[in-house]
Copies of this chain bind each other. A is one copy, B any other.
Amino acid sequence: MATQRQRSEFTRSQLLKAFRSAFLSRGFDATTTQYVLTQIGLSKGAMYHHFRSKTEIVEALYEEESRGAIERAMRSVRQTASPLEQLKQACLAWTREVRVPEVSKILFEIGPSALGPQKAKSVEDEISLGYLEELLSQAIRIGEIDARDPRLLAKFLNALVAETALYELRTKKVSTGVLNDAIEGVFAALRP
Report A's interface with B, CB cutoff 8 A.
108-109, 112-113, 116-118, 121, 148-149, 151-153, 155-156, 158-160, 162-164, 166-167, 175, 177-178, 181-182, 184-190
Contact = CB atoms under 8 A, between A and B. Distances in A.
Q: Is the interface of A mostly helix, strand, loop or mixed?
A: helix
Contacts of A185: 185-190
Nearest to A113: B116
Given A117-B108, A166-B121, A189-B185, A178 B160 contact: no
Contacts of A189: 181-182, 184-185, 188
B156 A182 contact: yes
Contact of A188 (B108, B163, B188): B188
Contacts of A121: 166
Given A112-B112, A156-B182, A159-B162, 7 more contacts: A109-B118, A148-B177, A152-B167, A152-B178, A155-B166, A159-B163, A185-B185
Contact of A186 (B112, B152, B177, B182): B182
A113 B151 CA distance: 25
Contact of A160 (B108, B109, B156): B156
A109 B113 contact: no
Contacts of A117: 108-109, 112-113, 117
Of A112, A184, A190, most B-chain CB atoms within 10 Å: A112
B162 A149 contact: no
